[in-house]
Amino acid sequence: MRTDRIVIFTDLDGSLLNHGDYSFSPALSMLTYLKNNHIDLIFTTSKTRVECLLLQEKMQLTSPFIVENGACIYFPNGEKIMLGRKHEEIVGFIDKYRKDFGIYAFKDMSIDELCKHTGFSHEQALLAKQREFSEPFLMDGVKDIDLLKKIAQKEGFKILKGGRFYHCVGAGQDKGLALKSTLKHYKGYYSIALGDNYNDIAMLEVVDQPILIPKHGGEFISLDLPNLIKAPHEGSLGWSEALKQVLL
């Protein structure tokens, strides 16, 4: 395949980054290939801006990136496109329904608690708390999640399911909408996206080549798309092997 007109969008946790240790070492050779062939790798993640910047530095990337489940797109030239709602508005909604639904949010967790729930280091946990457009949370039970989703929709919010947490975000955002906005800067490019979870479906639906990675434990989410490739392994190894199928 020609590599001069390709753009790749990727989820991070459970995809490019392993579920348990957040390692991307099995993908190092593929990351080198992408850099050598000038293929932009665009993070499309629930992570924050500061988390993405640190990962870009570690991977030596300078591409645009999309944060907090499609809330905002950041470009290397300083331009940004905001699709979500501000964090204080998200938190206001969460606080309003905290007691009714047994919500326990990121902002309520100590650094040690967050590390326990995520496997983050203290540094990673501090960065993850610096949210601008979303709030991850846990619930006492899942029986009321559909009701919470309906209430959120009425009030201009949306509840997404990630790998470890639910995420409260603005109703006018998702990874798919963010991809569509970003692709305006890549007219004529062949687009590839990789993800492993339900909040990745919207992005997988809008690209030329969707790649589904198995969740931690080896099972795939239910997804039926034309041309869908299923990675042979979970995490970073599966991410790399699936891209080899497409690019090499």
Catalytic (active-site) positions: 11
Domain limit, last residue, from 170, 198, 221 = 170
Stretch 223-247: mean pLDDT? 96
17: containing domain: 6-82+174-247
- Let me know whether 92 and 212 are in one domain: no
- Let me know whether 72 and 30 are in one domain: yes
In a domain? residue 231: yes
- Let me know whether 98 and 219 are in one domain: no
Does the pLDDT value for residue 201 go beyond 80? yes
Report the percentage of the chain scoring pLDDT > 90.
85
Q: For residues 115 and 2, which has the higher predicted lDDT (pLDDT)?
A: 115
Q: Quote the number of domains for the chain.
A: 2
Instruction: Looking at 129-208, list the stretches that DSSP marks H as alpha helix, in order from N- to C-terminal side.
Output: 145-154, 175-183, 201-204
CA atoms within 13 A on the CB side of 151: 13
- Let me know whether 96 and 70 are in one domain: no
In a domain? residue 1: no
Does the pLDDT value for residue 142 go beyond 70? no
Write the CA distances from 57 to 27, 44, 49, 178, integer angstroms: 16, 16, 12, 22
Mean predicted lDDT score pLDDT of the chain: 94
Stretch 147-154: mean pLDDT? 95
Domain limit, last residue, from 107, 137, 170 = 170
Tell me if the pTM is above 0.85.
yes
Q: What is the pLDDT of residue 241?
A: 98
Q: What are the tokens at 68?
A: 């907090």
